[in-house]
Amino acid sequence: MAPTTFDDATLWVVILAAGVVTYALRLSFIALFGRLDDVPESVERALRFVPAAVLSALVVPQLVVADGAVSLSPTNPRLLAGALAAAVAWRTENILATLVVGMGAMLLLSAALG
């Protein structure tokens, strides 16, 4: 991948802004609504789906898109290694085990599929 064209100043602005936003989310109820025991029901229900929707949106394109096109063929090493890693994640719920198996499969498959 070509190095980013973000310059130092832009990077600092992005890091600080992302940090402030994240901190504000964490501080929100602790600081302002400490007297309420509860988030609005509708908000809580929507937030429940954030991890699944966002993480999947991050993962799936990286597994199924190869050279700019969707590739669901068995010659796509990312797809196979990803499927294997997903199975390990499901059985173990362990980040390290998922990483080791997924990376190992990726190395072997990309060597084999050359």
Partner 1 sequence: MSSPRSDFLSGVRVAAPITLGVFPFGMIAGVAAVGVGIPAVQTLAMSVVIFAGASQLAAIELIGRNAPAAVVVLTVLVINLRHVMYSASLAPHFRRQSARWKGLLAYLLVDQVYALSILEFENDEETSRRWYYLGVATPLWLTWQTATVVGIIFGARTPEGWHLEFAVPLVFLAVLVPAVTDRATAAAALVGGAVAVVAAGLPYNLGLIVAAVVGIGAGLAVERATGVSTDGAAGEAE
Q: Which of residues 51-110 bind partner 1 (CB under 8 A)?
A: 51-65, 70, 78, 81-82, 85-86, 89-90, 93-96, 98-99, 102-103, 106-107, 110
> Are 98 and 89 contacting, i.e. CB atoms less than 8 angstroms apart?
yes
Among 46, 74, 75, 113, binds partner 1 (CB under 8 A): 46
User: CB of 10: closest distance to partner 1 in angstroms?
Assistant: 6
Whole-number minimum distance, CB 74 to partner 1, in Å?
17
Using CB under 8 A, which of 47, 74, 75, 113 touches partner 1? 47
Q: Are 78 and 59 in contact (CB under 8 A)?
A: no
- Least distance (Å) from partner 1 to the CB of residue 93? 5
Taking CA atoms, 45 is separated from 17, 26, 50, 54, 77, in Å, by 27, 18, 10, 15, 37
Specify whether the backbone of 73 is left (phi greater than 0), alpha (psi in -120 to 50) or beta.
beta
